[in-house]
Amino acid sequence: MAAGGFCKLPNGSVVVALNLPSPAGPGPGSVRFLVVAQNRARALTRLRNLGLRAVYLRGNAAPPTPDEITAVLHHPDGLIWRTTPDGGVQGPDLTQELWRPFKSLLRCPAPQA
């Protein structure tokens, strides 16, 4: 089950944050996605159209932090991600990894078996 949340902005748009299991397989860590859209349904549709088919937002347990909102609003695509080491929501001082555009995730080579 994916943790996540959302935050409605003053202009009416929404920032959605989702923690999903790492695409690299089982083990520690997860991936946190941030997406900006006009509403929650469009944000989830945007992720589904990019290949994350089984994403759902149930509740608001892990909403985006103000730093995360700033990061996604300043990105031209409005869709970014980074890994979280323990699978939980990270504060600004707990991770030093930079946010990456979603396109960089698509360019990752598949793990060798």
Q: What is the mean pLDDT of the chain?
A: 80
Residue predicted with more confidence, 92 or 28: 28
- Give me 32's structure tokens: 């946190």
Q: Is residue 111 part of a domain?
A: no
pLDDT given for residue 15 in this prediction: 96
Q: Is residue 112 part of a domain?
A: no
Q: Is residue 55 part of a domain?
A: yes
Q: Is residue 113 part of a domain?
A: no
- Tell me the residue range of the domain where 36 lies: 3-106
Distance, CA of 22 to CA of 80 (rounded, Å): 15
Residue 71 φ/ψ, nearest 5 degrees: -60, -45
CA separation, residue 2 to residues 10, 24, 31, 61, 83 (Å): 26, 16, 10, 10, 14
Percentage of the chain beyond pLDDT 90 is 37
- On the question of pLDDT at 31 being above 90, the answer is no
Q: Is residue 13 part of a domain?
A: yes
Residue predicted with more confidence, 105 or 80: 80
pLDDT digits (tens, 9 = 90+) for 47-96: 899 888 888 888 898 899 999 999 999 998 899 998 876 545 545 544 56
Residues 6 or more apart whose Cβ sits within 8 Å of residue 21: 2, 30, 31, 87
Pairing of strands 14-21, 79-84: unpaired
Pairing of strands 30-37, 79-84: antiparallel
How many structural domains compose the chain?
1
